[in-house]
């Protein structure tokens, strides 16, 4: 059997990066949430915040470990499957990844131990400070990784000498044209992802009448965060799209399945892009909708896919459908945000059972949106691995397809086992709930048997005397 090394190398990297991105996106938001809880505990002295922080720190530890394990493989793949990529742009990408390790990873690793084990050993102020430092470290990690990825999308600050990229202006490299929008978009997505997980857990506890006060705190904090960030993400996404239109117009054309740039673009709610015929089948469209969104003019024009040869176009179906999945999930997030805010304003947030049931099942929204968004970003850059510098077909290593297929199968097995164990432990922690002094709703709990009740009443009387 013949194996295509390029296809298998791409599948292997796509599999590992999709698996990996789930965990950093969650830990970025979760570390910030834990830091917020510990700061609130420090300011108010309320033990409920400490219990919540202790609970979520355990989940953070498992997620952080899974992110580290899954991320190590990505760096090795640059050398094993993508050696030409390392040769051509390693002078730029290598230092950016190195800065992430030197600044962010060491910062996180140094203070993670205090966060995990210092709750009863250090003062509340030191414990809160360690949480803030870990949260800062995760954000810095996202900064460098997104800077490197954005440079691959919109390269700047370099010079090509003998086919190799050499840094000329590090500030231009780091703050390349798409980086500010991509960083804001991704960080907001990470915080939204965590907010929906917190909301789901809090809603489940409210419905089950577990950890009464703490559950209400989680729901209120999550709804408040979502109500702010979900609409903000729409604005950031719009600006990111306009930036992409300026620097990567073919990607936008694939997102919209827009073929003819001489005509205003319709927004296709659904369509089946036919890349051979250069048309859309079964289209359900809003006339001139894409032109209105992208140019703020219903008659505005923007480049179509036919503006470049077929070999320079991204895989349209992948980009088109991933973009619509991201939009649909984003719309659901905004709907949850608006509904939760209205119910909170009316004082019905904890008495509206249907909303709590919906919220309790919405933990997955952020993860799906992030994976779909990254699919748009990475597939939309094709056929380039570094836009305008290096094509994906020219970036691979001279490795036999059979070897890549074998390692891909091994990765699937190992990652499947690691993921299953991680999810198992996280579910165990969720089922266990809070430890130590968690509150319950008034009038709930297991009733005492008559003799036990009499004994407790007698102790109360003696205690009063």
pLDDT of the residue at 464: 38
How do the domains of the chain map onto residue ranges?
208-384
Helix, coil or strand: residue 397: coil
Q: How far apart are CA 173 and CA 387, in angstroms?
A: 14
8 A C-beta contact, residue 353 and residue 121:
no
**Angle, helices 179-208/5-44, rounded to nearest 10 degrees:** 60
pLDDT of the residue at 9: 85
Buried b or exposed e, range 291-304, using 16+ CB within 10 angstroms: bbbbbeeeeebbbb
Residue 272 has phi, psi (to 5 degrees) of: -120, 100
Residue 441: HSE in the Cβ half-sphere, 13 Å Cα cutoff? 11
**Residue 158 bridge partners (DSSP):** 167
pLDDT of the residue at 454: 35
Q: What is the DSSP string of 264-330?
A: PPPEEEEEEEETTTTEEEEEEEETTHHHHHHHSSTT-----GGGS-GGGS--HHHHHHHHHHHHHHH
Identify the H or E element spanning 339. helix 316-345
Tokens at residue 191, please? 């915080």
Between β-strands 164-167 and 158-161, what pairing exists: parallel, antiparallel or unpaired?
A: antiparallel
Residues (pLDDT < 50) of the chain are 442-465
Q: How far apart are CA 133 and CA 95, in angstroms?
A: 23
Q: What is the DSSP string of 349-374?
A: TTT-HHHHHHHHT-TTHHHHHHHHHH
pLDDT of the residue at 465: 33
pLDDT of the residue at 462: 33
Alpha-carbon distance values, 203 to 83, 215, 286 (Å) = 48, 7, 37
Q: What are 115-164's pLDDT values in tens digits? A: 888 778 888 898 899 999 999 999 999 999 999 999 999 999 999 998 89
Tokens at residue 145, please? 């990784």
Q: Tell me whether the omega of the peptide bond preceding residue 283 falls within 30 degrees of 0, making it cis.
A: no
pLDDT of the residue at 437: 53
Closest of 395, 387, 390 to residue 154, by C-alpha: 387
CA dihedral 341, 344, 348, 352 (to 10 degrees): 40
């Amino acid at each position: 059997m013949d194996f295509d090394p390029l296809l298998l190398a791409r599948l292997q990297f796509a599999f590992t990066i999709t698996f990996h991105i789930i965990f950093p996106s969650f830990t970025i938001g979760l570390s910030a949430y834990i830091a917020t809880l510990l700061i609130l505990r420090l300011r108010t002295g309320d033990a409920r915040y400490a219990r919540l922080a202790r609970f979520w720190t355990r989940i953070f530890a498992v997620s952080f470990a899974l992110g580290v394990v899954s991320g190590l493989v990505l760096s090795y793949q640059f050398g094993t499957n993508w050696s030409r990529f390392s040769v051509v742009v390693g002078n730029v990408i290598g230092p950016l990844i190195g800065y992430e390790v030197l600044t962010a990873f060491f910062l996180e690793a140094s203070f993670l131990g205090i966060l995990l084990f210092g709750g009863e050993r250090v003062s509340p102020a030191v414990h809160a400070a360690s949480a803030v430092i870990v949260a800062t470290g995760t954000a810095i990690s996202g900064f460098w990784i997104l800077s490197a990825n954005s440079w691959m999308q919109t390269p700047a600050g370099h010079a090509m000498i003998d086919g190799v990229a050499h840094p000329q202006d590090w500030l231009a490299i780091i703050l390349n044209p798409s980086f500010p929008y991509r960083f804001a978009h991704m960080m907001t997505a990470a915080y939204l992802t965590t907010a929906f997980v917190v909301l789901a857990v809090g809603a489940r506890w409210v419905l089950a009448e577990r950890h009464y006060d703490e559950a209400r705190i989680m729901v209120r904090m999550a709804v408040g965060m979502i109500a702010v960030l979900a609409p903000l993400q729409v604005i950031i996404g719009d600006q990111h799209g306009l930036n992409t239109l300026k620097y990567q117009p073919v990607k936008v054309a694939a997102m919209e399945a827009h073929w003819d740039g001489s005509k205003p673009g319709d927004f296709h709610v659904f369509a089946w892009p036919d890349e051979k015929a250069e048309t859309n089948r079964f289209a359900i469209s809003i006339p001139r909708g894409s032109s209105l969104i992208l140019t703020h003019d219903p008659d505005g024009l923007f480049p179509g896919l036919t503006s470049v040869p077929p070999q320079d176009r991204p895989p349209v179906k992948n980009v088109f459908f991933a973009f619509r999945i991201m939009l649909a999930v984003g719309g659901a997030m905004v709907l949850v945000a608006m509904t939760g805010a209205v119910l909170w304003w009316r004082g019905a947030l904890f008495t509206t059972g249907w909303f709590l049931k919906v919220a309790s099942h919405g933990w997955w929204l952020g993860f799906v949106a992030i994976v779909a968004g990254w699919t748009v970003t990475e597939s939309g850059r094709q056929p380039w691995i570094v836009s305008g510098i290096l094509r994906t077909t020219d970036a691979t290593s001279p490795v036999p397809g059979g070897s890549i297929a074998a390692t891909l199968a091994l990765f699937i097995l190992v990652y499947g086992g690691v993921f299953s164990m991680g999810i198992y432990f996280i579910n165990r922690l969720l089922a266990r709930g809070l430890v130590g002094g968690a509150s319950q709703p008034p009038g709930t709990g297991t009733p005492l048997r008559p003799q036990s009740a009499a004994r407790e009443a007698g102790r109360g009387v003696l205690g009063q005397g």
